[in-house]
Structure 1
Amino acid sequence: MKNRLTTAQPTKAMRRRVPPGIVTLAAMAVLAAVAPASAAKQARQPAEAVAQRQAGDPIMAIVSIKSQQVTFYDADGWILRAPVSTGTTGRETPAGVFAVVEKDKDHRSTMYDDAWMPNMQRITWNGIALHGGPLPGYAASHGCVRMPFGFAENLFDKTYIGMRVIISPHDTVPTDIAHPSLFVPKPEAIAAAPRLADKLSVEADEATRAADEAKKAASAAAKEAASLPAALRKLEQQKARADAELAFADKTLANAKNDQARAKAEELKQKAATKAADAATQLDAAKAAAQPKRDAVAATKDAAKASAARKADAVKAATDAKLAGEPVSVYISRSTQKLYVRRNTHKPAPDGGGEVFDTSIEVPVTIRNPEQPIGTHIFTAMAKSATGLRWSVVTIENGDEARNALDRITIPQDVWDRIGPTALPRSSIIISDEPLSSETNYRTEFVAVLSDQPQGGFITRKPTAPAMIASDDGWDNGGNGFGFFYQRDPYVQPANPRRQRGQYQYYQSTEPMQRSWW
């Protein structure tokens, strides 16, 4: 017994001498071992933050999927930050380049059982948006970017249709850049733009009225001449019958057997000859009268075509001049070897929702070493500078360094001359390996997603209907260059990719949607 007590005492004393910190660490280890798997997702959330300075209008938002954070930038740097919740596994928020296309203060989901999505700012028409929602501390949405409710509400009135939204798989920030391929505006061109737009608008109105009058004249001439073929056919048939009667009279006279029969046949022939001569005279007169009318139809038709061409040229010039007062966005795709230009017309879309973007420029572009990756780089004119514009770049996919990407691009001179001299702050040039998504249409700026990143929240949504593109065949009520729409099948990235052996194949999902938040 003594030995047992002697042995136990040191053990008890040793336990009393264990430092408290070790006990605490041991307890924490035990708790960590038994914590539920979901707790592992709940990494420390980024805190909401507001820059301690006077903020300007936001130019872009960058969402980091890695850090679950959104940051808004004005011309001088970041102004707002907040935690977010992006798409969960299988419903991932697509990484790529977007812009705000619609805003709805009190939005209700049409996909998820009328779920409330307050202060919604849509970035694709198939349903990806930024909006207020619950933030569990990890990616949990069905593809949208949830923001804190209060943050989303305070932000709502600060943004605008066309504001750039960049969703990056990793953390990235805008960095300053200067390069000769970035637009350098001409102050005199910018100063002259409003006067030029007014002048060309008047000329476009006049050309439109002239084209309408020419079209009416051509229509009237065609209407007047429309009855000519039937009238001439009737006279030709009348002459043919008269000629047939004359031929019959000749035959009757030749077959007469006596004087009485010959006299009767002679009388019949004279009447038939007179009738045939009258029919021929009427036909010749009708043909002579018809020719000036036919000439008038041809002349007024040619005049209408020429007038319509002048109208189209005038409308195009007026549209370009009017759009010169808007920031310009350029997208250059290594995949399609094309350059696309967008400018917001601020005209409501005719089929409801959003605004119409001008899509009149789409041209081939030269890319040096087109077989080599170029990455995805978003160059943005942040503000005016002493030399023109101060630019930044955000890279979300490293195929090539941003400066090298610009070096590899040759922008056609006519495009440069058309949009460069009047480039304004918030203008952008995007260079990417990716084609434009088929979600890009006349109601969007650009939509391009990174094909090597998960897109579950994008591919499980019903694609937007085929793009309708605004034509420039109209002015004012005719459209101010945006009155008519036609189907277009550009080289675009299909809407619904499904990953297969490392690549994305595209399909429309038939998987039932869970009822939840985006």
Structure 2
Amino acid sequence: MLRSFVGACLLSTSVLVQAAIAGDARSLQVVVSKNDQSLSLYEDGEVVATSRVSTGKSGHETPSGIFSILDKRKYHESNIYSAAPMPFMQRLTWSGIALHEGNVPNYPASHGCIRLPAKFAKSLYGMTSRGVHVIISSADVSLQRIDHPTLLQPKAADEGRLLSDIEMRPATFDASLKLVEVAVNEKTSSVPAKATSKVTGAPLRILITRRGEREKIMDVQRLLTSIGFDAGVADGYSGQMTINAVNGYKRWKGIKTTGPLVTDEFLDALYASTGADAPPNGQLMVRQNFKPLFEAPIHIKDPQVALGTHFFEVIDIEGDRAEWNGLTLENHIPIAARKRLGIDVADAPGGYDQLRTVLDRIDIPADVRERLEEQLAVGSSITVSDLSHGLETGQGTDFVTITRD
């Protein structure tokens, strides 16, 4: 009887796994719990398979956060640990964190990767594609359905219309890169633009965070250029052209040029000179196909209170309605970062309903929302975090959000 029961369980899991294989990989999500040493695979918001895992041991802990699959190799050898074999490798960071087949005892034993049992590693490899999200948490977390007015809904794009008429900013985190090109919708046979964007459009990766020094410098560069100072490309980096423009403006206004480059006195004078309103306190950044697309300022209510770290993803689109799910991750903000960002209350509000609470605090301008909704597709995601992207976000990645390194 026991053998029959175990066999039935295995058969049930196999059926569920085969169902996932037949679906759209963009609706898949992987959630790993380090405390439980377990993995849950979601499809269309439902758990379709689970597995034991072995994460990083003491001194080589697996980072917690929000990742996506960057690369896949059926057979790979470690570049760090003596060419150790890593069959069915699915890379999460370019610095060496991956899912792969390996020994799975009932405790953390790896050097940072997430080891999977052989059969499950092979099955999971066959289901996923590049871009599938992998959420790693110390605590046991689960995805839940959520409906909220702040979450984007699909919107038909006008035929032949430029996808955005909002002011473009450099959508790059590398000062050496050029401005991104903006796509144009092309008329295709009898398929409406709305249906095309939903079915074939690459998912958007959206990060909502607080504005920092980089965004402040971007505004300074843009405003200085608007009044005749050559501050260079508005990329958020204080290169020599920007420094020369800032100091030139300071000399014009009788502001001392020693000390910090950007001071409150300088900013007040610059905004007064240009007649510009003070910028909102939040920033929305967008990536698509592992490349920066665009970014824009937004407003965050109660900025002195921590946002926390939250993840939302479109798991299905039917007609003009997108179905979202989400989860809240542990949030660790160093004291220095809290001071720099003006956070007085470190615990994000909302208790067990933090997802809706944080969405209540986010105000996305209508023109930005319109552009995003025209390109919304299954697999599009929103990450909300007090801390912006880190060093793991770069060329050939989505936004990588680390909650504990």
Q: List runs of 5+ in structure 1 lacking aligned partners.
A: 1-46, 201-311, 345-356, 456-518
- Is 2:76–2:85's contact at 8 Å kept on the other side of the alignment? yes
Q: In structure 2, how many angstroms separate the alpha carbons of the residues matched to 1:67 and 1:181?
A: 33
Q: Give the TM-score, by structure 1 length.
A: 0.50
User: What's the CA shift string for 1:211-235, capped at 9, x where partnerless?
Assistant: xxxxxxxxxxxxxxxxxxxxxxxxx
2:249 corresponds to 1:316: no
The CA distance in 2 between the partners of 1:428 and 1:417, in whole Å, is 16
2:208 aligns to what? 332
Counterpart secondary structure, 1:185: coil
- Kindly provide the CA deviation profile for residues 119-174 of structure 1, in whole angstroms up to 9, marking residues without a partner as x: 11001001111111101210111111111122111211211111111001111111
Q: Give the one of 93, 100, 106 matched to 2:75.
A: 106
Kindly state the Cα deviation for residue 365 of structure 1 after the two structures are TM-superposed. 2.5
Relative distance call for 1:313 and 1:62 in structure 2 (3 A) is closer
- CA contact under 8 A between 2:68 and 2:133: conserved in structure 1? yes
| Contact persistence 1:177–1:391 (CA under 8 A) | yes
Report whether the alignment pairs 1:407 with 2:354: no
Q: Which residue of 1 aligns with 2:344?
A: none
SS at match of 1:61: strand
Distance 1:71 1:57 in 2: 17
Q: Does 1:88 align with 2:33?
A: no
Decide whether aligned partners of structure 1 residues 146 and 314 sit closer, same or farther in structure 2, where only a CA change above 3 A counts: closer
Q: Which residue of structure 1 lines up, in the alignment, with residue 13 of structure 2?
A: 50
Match in the other structure for 1:396 = 329
User: Could you tell me the percent identity over the aligned residues?
Assistant: 38
Using a 3 Å threshold, how does the CA distance of structure 1 residues 69 and 124 change in structure 2: closer, same or farther? same
Higher-RCO chain (CA-CA 8 Å, sequence separation at least 6): 2
Change in 2 beyond 3 A, CA 1:110/1:320: farther
1:181 equivalent in alignment to 2:114: no
Contact kept, 8 Å, 2:291 with 2:397, in 1: the verdict is: no
Q: Distance in 1 between the 2:145 and 2:369 partners?
A: 22
1:421 to 370, 374, 389: 374
Q: Aligned pair in 2 of structure 1 residues 116, 403: CA closer, same or farther (>3 Å)?
A: same
CA distance in 1, matches of 2:74, 2:296: 38
In the TM superposition, what is the alpha-carbon distance from 1:313 to its structure 2 partner?
A: 11
Deviation at 1:63, TM superposition (A): 0.5
Amino acid corresponding to residue 202 of structure 2 in structure 1: E
Q: Distance in 1 between matches of 2:208 and 2:52?
A: 32
Q: Aligned letter for 1:395?
A: T
Distance 2:379 2:355 in 1: 19
The structure-2 alpha-carbon separation of the partners of 1:136 and 1:80, relative to structure 1 and needing over 3 Å to count, comes to same
Residue pair 1:338, 1:364 contacting (<8 A) in 2 also: yes
1:34-183 equivalent positions in 2, closer than 5 A: 50=13, 52-53=15-16, 54-55=19-20, 56-58=23-25, 59-183=28-152
Could you tell me how far 1:52 is from its partner in structure 2?
4.9
Give the whole-Å Cα distance in 2 for the aligned partners of 1:434 and 1:315: 27
Q: Is the 8 A contact 1:381 1:424 kept in 2?
A: yes
| 1:384 paired residue among 309, 317, 322 | 317
Task: Identify the residue that residue 440 of structure 1 maps to in structure 2.
Answer: 393
Do the aligned partners of residues 408 and 51 (structure 1) sit closer, same or farther apart at CA in structure 2, a change above 3 Å counting? farther
Report the alpha carbon displacement of residue 72 of structure 1 after superposing the two structures with TM.
1.0
CA deviation after TM superposition for structure 1 residue 51, in Å: 7.1
Alignment of 1:204-283 (within 5 A): none
Is 1:371–2:304 an aligned residue pair?
Answer: yes
Q: What are the residue-to-residue correspondences of 1:476-515 with 2, within 5 Å?
A: none
| Residues 281-314 of structure 1, C-alpha deviations (whole Å, 9 max, x = no match) | xxxxxxxxxxxxxxxxxxxxxxxxxxxxxxx999
Change (3 A) 1:52 1:418: same
Larger Rg: 1
Letter in 2 for 1:393: G
- 1:422 Cα deviation from its structure 2 partner: 3.0
Aligned residue in 2 for 1:498: none
Tell me: CA distance 1:387–1:117, structure 2 relative to 1, closer, same or farther (3 Å): same
Measured in 1, the distance between the counterparts of 2:380 and 2:59 equals: 34
**In 1, Cα distance between equivalents of 2:56 and 2:298:** 35
Give the unaligned 5+ runs of structure 2.
1-8, 164-177, 188-192, 213-281, 332-347
The secondary structure found in structure 2 opposite 1:318 is: coil
CA contact (8 A) 2:37 2:53 kept: yes
- TM-score scaled to structure 2, two decimals? 0.63
Distance 1:317 1:330, change over 3 A: same
Assess, with a 3 A threshold, how the Cα gap between structure 1 residues 362 and 119 changes in structure 2: closer, same or farther: same
> SS at the partner of 2:109?
coil
Per the TM alignment, residue 421 of structure 1 is displaced from its structure 2 partner at its CA by 2.6
Report the alpha carbon displacement of residue 447 of structure 1 after superposing the two structures with TM: 0.7
User: CA distance change for structure 1 residues 171 and 320 in 2, over 3 Å: closer, same or farther?
Assistant: farther
Contact 1:334 1:374 in 2 (8 A): no
Deviation at 1:442, TM superposition (A): 2.5
How many Å apart are 1:114 and its aligned residue?
0.6
